Structure 1
Amino acid sequence: MSPPMHEHHEITVNLHMHTPYSDGHGSHKQIADAALKVGLDAIIVTDHNVWVNGPEGYYQDGPKRVLMLIGEEVHDQARNPQKNHMLVIGAERELATLAHDPQTLINGVNEAGGMAFLAHPTDPENKVILEEDLSWVSWEVQGFTGLELWNSLSELKIRIKNYLQAIYFVFNPQQVAMGPPPQTVTLWDDLLKSGKKVVAVGGSDAHALPVHLGPISRRVYPYVHHFRCINTHLLLPEPLNGNLDHDKTLIYSALRAGHAFVAYDLPAPTRGFRFAAHAREASVIMGDEVLLRPGQGVTFQIRLPEVAECILLKDGKPLKTWDNRETLTYNTTEPGVYRVEVYREFLRARRGWIFSNPIYVRG
């Protein structure tokens, strides 16, 4: 059972990014400096097919500090065409040698005590910018922890329809994010309805790629920009205390449990969002299960950082929508998988703001 909704300690984590150890263009120190500038609590670096043992730990700038953790993005480099990228977090060892078979890789991650997240499950080809399809296709696999619901770089690929639009987004990165790909949301809901527990995370996929347009050079996108956008917020039972082992355990435990929500922090801070369920004998938060006993109900409580459009979904279908409210309640007597989506206006468009992990009401 989780502590009551108001007793959790919230932290902001950005995960899925790359350094020159694979195809990124910023060092671990430069990435940490960007995270410190933005005010993140933790970052998880995931270079392609290499677990970089060494840079993990706290980085400080005066009174500010950020915890850098090291994972890995693993895929079969010999596969043609390329598919099935996986974020491996918490395994604490090199696992790229298992990449030839996704199920073997997942088994290896679990044996190492790590977590396996399916990276950018919907990542279609884009001929305008000469990017191939890197979607997840091996849906027969079992035992993975979760999936990357919202990947910032994949969304850019999806949004670009022509060369002029590509140029526009290079110079206007704040216009890109609209929400997770609908196909990914549907895949997630289908997995949840099948009885699986699947944790959703958001990833920046930050590379700071150099782009040259004649005499003009830009980065797509700087780490600082990515860190202000798609983040994963975790709810911890106690605060971080600056000890690497203690804090890593807290972060990985919350990730594994799904005590988290995916957030687009650029329009407005999402810190303070809560989604909880209360039954007679238990109170739970995102990622948890609650038992629906005969003759009893469950009350959901939702708290928004500020007024917005809020949708409660059951088994992937909208159940109730509220507008211009900050505190919301809903009673149910039906088992199902319940989650929350929040939308708001930003730069003249309705954009996804918050996507909770589910609460599982079991009958």
Structure 2
Amino acid sequence: MKKIAGYYNYSGAVHIHTTESDGTKPIEEVIAIGKSAGLDFMMFADHMTLSNRENGHEGIYDKMLVVIGYEHNDEADTHHYLLFESPKVYPNEMTAKEYVKAGADDNALGILAHPDEIRNSLKDYPPYPWHDWTAEGYQGIELWNQMSEWMEKLTHMNKLQMSLSPRKSMVGPTDRILKKWDELNMTKKIVGIAGVDAHEFPVKIGPITIKIFPYKVHFRCLRTHVLLPDKMSSDLEIAKKQLYSAIRDCRCYISNIRWGNADKFEFYAENSMEKVISGGQLSTAKESRLVAKLPSKATLKLVHNGDYILESETANFEYSQLQSGIYRVEAWKGNRGWIFSNHIKIL
């Protein structure tokens, strides 16, 4: 593996379910599928259980890191929350504020799952959104949840078509969650990741049953990329720390690899004295520039403090009219989202 702009790029799948909750395959089979899909890491999060971790399934499998957390929810089955490195499953009767705080107190990594779900076309599939934005202590949010986007577009009329070609529904994060994410990052660092939310659900359509988003299809769509200054260790505990540190520090970006491999994407800010990547901050805008490099030509959009300020059809991009605030970029292939960076802050 080669360094790109001084960092090693590892891509993986976040938010994976198994038969320990409502997934349809045991973890051993899902790990094998992940390896065949070329994942560098897998982050499992079954509902309200750490049994896969307790049974010793965390590990490094032929250089692929597997970590196991869990997905917490409140008694109303809302406020779904991914927790990694928590010492236990917290009590079900806790409020969202309480289990977010409990995770923070235990130094667990906490990520809001599918926080902006909105759907009402099928009553059997209600949304599970996040309402309490006053909770303190979470480190990240799912910008793009694969199952949520598919479900929000599902109707009785298109159910068969959507089930046969689920990846065709993938467009990108919603405008509402991108706006909320930008607002949050104006005052604190909140990482944006992609959640595959893999279950391989069986759906009955007339006399036939179709498996929606088989695990192997999930793993050919959304990826979360982490940037490490050193190669990922072959020691499990060290590798876990490297992964979690990168996520906490926002040294990440997300991509839909259906539109192209995104491993060579670069986004950084620099001047004669400093150079920083996503999650970093530059001490001055004076004589500084932003640089974005795409693996291939796409529509690149530059966002400053939540406002879209520039758009260009390009593979290489520089911008030197910097002001204080937070910047990020998006790359689109036609009307399909391809790459979404995390923020760089300019002081």
TM category (shorter chain) comes to over 0.9
Q: Could you tell me which residue of structure 1 aligns to residue 78 of structure 2?
A: 83
After TM superposition, give the deviation of residue 55 of structure 1 in Å.
0.9
Q: Distance in 2 between matches of 1:98 and 1:298?
A: 49
Q: Could you tell me which residue of structure 1 aligns to residue 128 of structure 2?
A: 134
1:274 to 253, 261, 266: 266
1:219 to 187, 211, 236: 211
Asked if residue 260 in structure 1 is aligned to residue 252 in structure 2, the reply is yes
After TM superposition, give the deviation of residue 129 of structure 1 in Å.
6.0
Q: Distance in 2 between matches of 1:29 and 1:190?
A: 40
2:71 to 70, 73, 77: 73
Matches within 5 A, 1:211-360: 211-292=203-284, 296-323=286-313, 325-345=314-334, 350-360=335-345
Q: Distance in 1 between matches of 2:4 and 2:269?
A: 9
2:59 to 57, 60, 65: 57
Structure 1 contact 5–274 (Cα < 8 Å) conserved: yes
Instruction: Give the number of equivalent residue pairs.
Output: 342
After TM superposition, give the deviation of residue 5 of structure 1 in Å.
5.9
After TM superposition, give the deviation of residue 184 of structure 1 in Å.
1.0
Gaps of 5+ in 2: none
Structure 2 contact 4–264 (Cα < 8 Å) conserved: no
Cα–Cα, structure 1 residues 214 and 20, in superposed 2: closer, same or farther, change >3 Å? same
The residue identity in structure 2 corresponding to 1:56 is E
Q: Could you tell me which residue of structure 1 aligns to residue 178 of structure 2?
A: 185
Q: Could you tell me which residue of structure 1 aligns to residue 15 of structure 2?
A: 16
Q: Distance in 1 between matches of 2:117 and 2:346?
A: 31
Q: Distance in 1 between matches of 2:135 and 2:173?
A: 22
Q: Could you tell me which residue of structure 2 aligns to residue 39 of structure 1?
A: 38
Q: Could you tell me which residue of structure 1 aligns to residue 163 of structure 2?
A: 170
TM-score for both structures, normalised by structure 1 = 0.90
The SS at the match of 1:164 is coil
Q: Distance in 2 between matches of 1:279 and 1:51?
A: 46
Structure 2 contact 122–156 (Cα < 8 Å) conserved: yes
Asked if residue 125 in structure 1 is aligned to residue 119 in structure 2, the reply is yes
After TM superposition, give the deviation of residue 255 of structure 1 in Å.
0.7
The SS at the match of 1:232 is strand
TM-score for both structures, normalised by structure 2 = 0.94
Q: Distance in 1 between matches of 2:291 and 2:9?
A: 17
After TM superposition, give the deviation of residue 330 of structure 1 in Å.
0.6
Q: Distance in 1 between matches of 2:200 and 2:239?
A: 28
User: What's the CA shift string for 1:2-45, capped at 9, x where partnerless?
Assistant: xx961100001101011111111111111111111110000000
The SS at the match of 1:6 is coil
Q: Distance in 2 between matches of 1:127 and 1:343?
A: 28
Tell me the C-alpha RMSD between the 2 structures.
1.6
Q: Distance in 2 between matches of 1:204 and 1:147?
A: 13
The residue identity in structure 1 corresponding to 2:7 is H
Identity of aligned residues (%): 28
The residue identity in structure 1 corresponding to 2:82 is L
Q: Distance in 1 between matches of 2:93 and 2:253?
A: 29
The residue identity in structure 2 corresponding to 1:97 is P
Gaps of 5+ in 1: none
After TM superposition, give the deviation of residue 116 of structure 1 in Å.
1.0
Q: Distance in 2 between matches of 1:139 and 1:122?
A: 11
After TM superposition, give the deviation of residue 197 of structure 1 in Å.
1.2
Structure 2 contact 223–257 (Cα < 8 Å) conserved: yes
- Runs of 4 or more, structure 1, over 3 Å off, are none
After TM superposition, give the deviation of residue 241 of structure 1 in Å.
3.4
